[in-house]
């Protein structure tokens, strides 16, 4: 059974189709990044999973429980951390957590113990007596995470938790998420900072105009081709770097992109690895003394842009996989 399962989910706000037939699953104990431009449907999908909104059509389940039919059961399983949330006036950090612990049904010693654990984990102890509305953004996010963890949920849904954080706070948050992932919690997290998601997540979901356009691990994305199906290679030679650019001019399927210290960056217009092998063989045959020839990994931002570009040009988001025999 998956921790999160969404099947053919639609959500309309009047004429606006915020979520448009989304289907995906997130296995237990994994960290899944949810990526999309503003207005792509991320927050709406997450809010439906958190039982804060409802689908126009389709179903959403958390640990096999339908979010519409059994919202109270689902709420026990999830911790929700929105992109921004208000804090209360005249209420300290300790009282803030105490209020939510009481509201979650904790009593007496167990309540105090749970608050202590959460404050230790999120490093809120030094801030215990500070008013909750006087905290910095990073502290507020830690408080929000602490609140979301009070009832020790199985699934953590985090909407843009790193938005507006300074680098130090971002590193701290990333560390906390890693620890939670190690504890076996399922984490469903959205962010604009794809490089960070790539480091943390087992899988990435790309959403565009309310539709899922990619679901896979970050490694596949990094090794994928660009919009036109081309792949980038870094070529280093022993000798003049210009040799590479000069050689590329005469080649029909190879494009020289930029010069580097001992060679350059080239683009081969197919993802087929045998073609890359052919290019390498031709280079050697033509007298280039190759010291390095390796496929470049794209960063996730490029991968995301490429996928959106493919869709805009009417191609499938991810090119069909190559036949097994053509792979090296």
Partner 1 sequence: MSLTHLTDFPDKLSPMLVKELRQGMRARSFTMLFLIFQLLLGFILLTASASSSMDSAGSFASGVIFTMFGIAALFIQPMRGVTALSSEITGNTIEMMALTRLSASRIVFGKWIAIVSQTALILITIIPYLILRYFFGGMILLGELVFLSLIFLTSMALTAVMVGMSGTNAKLSRILPVLGFIFMLQIIPGVLFRGGFNNFMSYCTLSDWESRVGIFSYVSFIAYFGWCALSHGTSVIAPAAENHSTLRRLIALGLTCIAVAVGFHPAVDAQILPVILGIILAPAVITVLTEPSNLLPPIYKPFLKRGLPGRVAAVFLLPGWPAGVFYTTLLLAINIGGFLAAASPAISPTDMAEIKIVTLTLIGGVLLPALLAANFSKHESKRFTNFLVFLLASIILTIIPAIFANINNHENYLWFFIWNPPVFIAMMNESSFDKNQLLAAAMIVDGIILTLLLVTATIAFRGYRGIIKEAESGLGHSTPAP
Binding residues for partner 1, rule: CB under 8 A, are 50-52, 54, 61, 64-66, 68-71, 73, 75, 78, 80, 82, 84-91, 94-95, 98-100, 102-105, 107-108, 111-112, 115-116, 119, 125, 128-129, 147
- Pick the closer one to partner 1 by CB: 80 or 206: 80
* Closest CB 215 distance from partner 1, rounded Å: 23
In the numeric block, which tokens belong to residue 111? 């309540």
Q: Which is nearer to partner 1, 50 or 204 (by Cβ)?
A: 50
* Alpha carbons 108 and 131: distance in angstroms, whole number: 23
Give the Cα separation of 61 and 317 in Å (integer): 26
Cβ-based nearer residue to partner 1, 131 or 227: 131
Long-range contacts of 75-78 (CB under 8 A, 24+ apart): 75/51, 76/151, 76/153, 77/153, 77/154, 77/155, 78/49, 78/50, 78/51, 78/153, 78/154, 78/155, 78/156, 78/157
Closest distance of CB 152 from partner 1, Å: 14
- Which of residues 91 and 317 has its CB atom nearest to partner 1 in the complex? 91
Cα–Cα distance measured from residue 181 to residue 289, given in angstroms and rounded to the nearest whole number: 47
> Would you say 64 or 216 has its CB closer to partner 1?
64
Structure token digits, residue 184: 């076996």
DSSP letter string, 124-185:
-GGGTTSBGGG--HHHHHHHHHHHHHTT--SEEEEESTTTT--HHHHHHHHHHHHHHHHTT-
Cα(32)–Cα(251) distance, integer angstroms: 42
Select 99 or 257, whichever has its Cβ closest to partner 1.
99
Q: Shortest distance, CB of residue 320 to partner 1, whole angstroms?
A: 35
Residue 252 CB coordination number (10 Å): 6
Query: If DSSP codes are grouped into helix, strand and coil, which group holds residue 78?
Result: strand
For partner 1, the closer CB: 132 or 218: 132
Q: How far is the CB of 14 from partner 1 (least distance, A)?
A: 8
Instruction: Give me the helices (H) in 165-299, please.
Output: 167-182, 194-200, 218-223, 242-249, 273-285
Q: What is the DSSP letter of 70?
A: -
Kindly give the residue spans of alpha helices, DSSP state H, lying in the chain.
42-49, 71-77, 93-103, 108-121, 137-149, 167-182, 194-200, 218-223, 242-249, 273-285, 300-312
Q: Measured from the CB atom, is 80 or 247 closer to partner 1? A: 80
Closest separation in Å from C-beta 69 to partner 1: 4
Q: Which is nearer to partner 1, 7 or 251 (CB)?
A: 7
CB of 28 to partner 1, least distance (A): 15
Q: CB of 157: closest distance to partner 1 in angstroms?
A: 10
CB of 107 to partner 1, least distance (A): 4
Strand order in the sheet with 254-260: 254-260, 263-268, 231-237, 290-295
Q: What's the closest the beta carbon of residue 245 comes to partner 1, in angstroms? A: 55
């Amino acid at each position: 059974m998956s921790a999160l399962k969404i099947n053919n989910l639609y959500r309309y706000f009047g004429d606006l189709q915020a979520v448009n037939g989304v289907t995906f699953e997130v296995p237990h104990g994994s960290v899944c990044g949810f990526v999309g431009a503003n207005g792509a449907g991320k927050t709406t999908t997450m809010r439906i999973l958190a039982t804060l909104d409802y689908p126009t059509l389709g179903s959403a389940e958390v640990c096999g429980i339908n979010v519409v039919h059994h919202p109270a059961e689902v709420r026990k399983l999830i911790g929700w951390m929105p992109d921004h949330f208000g804090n209360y006036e005249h209420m300290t950090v300790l009282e803030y957590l105490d209020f939510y612990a009481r509201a979650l049904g904790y009593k007496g010693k167990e309540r105090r113990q749970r608050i202590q654990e959460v404050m230790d984990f999120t490093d809120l102890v030094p801030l215990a007596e500070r008013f909750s509305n006087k905290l910095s953004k990073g502290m507020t996010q830690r408080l929000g995470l602490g609140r979301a963890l009070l009832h020790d949920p199985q699934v953590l849904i985090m909407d843009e938790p790193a938005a507006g954080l300074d680098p130090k706070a971002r590193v701290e948050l990333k560390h906390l998420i890693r620890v939670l992932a190690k504890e076996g919690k399922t984490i469903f997290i959205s962010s604009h900072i794809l490089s960070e998601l790539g480091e943390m997540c087992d899988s990435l979901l790309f959403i565009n105009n309310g539709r899922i356009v990619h679901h896979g691990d970050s490694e596949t994305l990094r090794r994928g081709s660009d919009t036109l199906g081309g792949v980038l290679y870094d070529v280093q030679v022993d000798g003049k770097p210009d040799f590479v650019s000069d050689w590329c001019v005469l080649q029909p399927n190879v494009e020289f992109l930029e010069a580097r210290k001992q060679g350059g960056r080239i683009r081969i217009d197919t993802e087929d690895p045998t073609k890359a092998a052919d290019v390498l063989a031709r280079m050697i045959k033509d007298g280039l003394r190759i010291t390095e020839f390796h496929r470049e990994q794209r960063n996730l931002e490029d991968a995301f842009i490429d996928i959106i570009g493919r869709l805009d040009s009417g191609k499938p988001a991810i090119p069909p996989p190559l036949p097994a025999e053509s792979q090296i």
